[in-house]
Structure 1
Amino acid sequence: MRLALWAAAALVLGAAAPASADEVGRVGVDWLGNDIVVQAVQDPKVQGITCHVSYFDRGVVDRLQKGNWFENPSDSAVSCHQTGPITIGDIDLSEKGEEVFKQGISLIWKKQVVNRIYDKTNNTLIYLSHSRQVQNGSAKMAITTVPLYDQNVVWTSSKPK
């Protein structure tokens, strides 16, 4: 039975591992094995922008104590900055923007998401980190901006007017 519990825990923790982000830090926050994970994410349509996303990763002991084996909390943080020359590809310029990054933070339904929105008036890229669930959505979010004013930005399509 104990082996089955450890196997289930490994499956849950493995399911939360991202495919398109690089883990650059992991900080232990208590003796229960809970960690804060920091990942670097490259914006796939905007070269020269790197986002660092952090989230809480529950340890096996915490999962055993509290039940709820199958998900991490919705808390996250994001910080995006210019890390090279900026080249903007064919991005969604609508008010809702587009998803830049997504990873599972539960076995099936809950996702941690980073969306990019272009603020044309202020010539700024906005990155919003939040969780998405089928129901009972969370209001926990984080936001960061990358101003493009006075930058040598290359638009592969024409710059929005």
Structure 2
Amino acid sequence: MKRLFPLCFAALALSAAAEEIDCVTTTWKLVGANHRICVYAYDDPKIPGVTCHVSQARTGGVKGSLGLAEDPSQFSLACRQVGPIALPAKLPADEVVFSEDTSLLFKETKIHRFLDRKRNVLVYLAISRRIIEGAPANAISTVPIQPWPAP
């Protein structure tokens, strides 16, 4: 089951493919998968040199094993410069760089990228969105655009 998540996660990505780093069990379940926290990495598809890591709660049990459970809106986001950054000439002011469904029909997690031109910083905002009522869960990470030393 652990190896199935990267395939599902990548299939649901809008612009970026996620790589599962690892998962930690938070609650043991007698039947079905355990509740877990999983850490994924993804590279910004339009900004080479930026990688974000997202940790997200994953619901286990029978429903979780069958893909029918709604994952809780519990996640964390950390983005870092990992190489030279070259901004595209026409970078949108607000762009969804990653999206994943966290329930069968009505809930998703999205990561938006903004450019704070005044401070020369990329801002990444992760939100949990319920299609019907919305959800206030969010996390933010910033990446200052700095010179990168030559190898």
TM-score range, shorter chain: 0.7 to 0.9
State which structure, 1 or 2, has the greater radius of gyration over its C-alpha atoms: 1
Q: TM-score, normalised by structure 2?
A: 0.79
Structure 2 equivalent of residue 92 of structure 1: 92
After superposition, the Cα gap between the structure-2 partners of 1:107 and 1:62, relative to the gap in structure 1 and judged at 3 Å, is: closer
Structure 1 gaps of 5+ residues are 1-9, 154-161
Structure 1 equivalent of residue 49 of structure 2: 48
Q: Which amino acid aligns with 1:28?
A: T
Identity of aligned pairs, percent? 37
CA distance, structure 1, for counterparts of residue 63 and residue 28 of structure 2: 10
The alignment partner of 1:86 has SS state of: coil
Poorly superposed stretches of 4+, deviation over 4 Å: 61-64
How far the C-alpha of 1:82 sits from its partner, in A, is 0.7
The alignment partner of 2:135 has SS state of: coil
CA distance, structure 2, for counterparts of residue 116 and residue 35 of structure 1: 27
The alignment partner of 2:49 has SS state of: strand
Structure 2 equivalent of residue 30 of structure 1: 27
The alignment partner of 1:39 has SS state of: strand
CA distance, structure 1, for counterparts of residue 45 and residue 55 of structure 2: 19
CA distance, structure 2, for counterparts of residue 104 and residue 62 of structure 1: 15
CA distance, structure 2, for counterparts of residue 76 and residue 62 of structure 1: 20
CA distance, structure 2, for counterparts of residue 63 and residue 92 of structure 1: 36
Q: How many residues align?
A: 133
* Structure 1 residue corresponding to 2:147, chosen from 124, 130, 152: 152
Structure 2 equivalent of residue 71 of structure 1: 70
CA distance, structure 2, for counterparts of residue 88 and residue 122 of structure 1: 14
The alignment partner of 1:38 has SS state of: strand
Q: Which amino acid aligns with 1:84?
A: G
Q: Which amino acid aligns with 1:17?
A: C
How far the C-alpha of 1:62 sits from its partner, in A, is 7.7
* Structure 1 residue corresponding to 2:103, chosen from 101, 106, 113: 106
* 1:52-104 Cα shifts (integer Å, max 9, x gaps): 0111001115869xxxx4311111111000111112224212xxx11010111
Structure 2 gaps of 5+ residues are 11-16
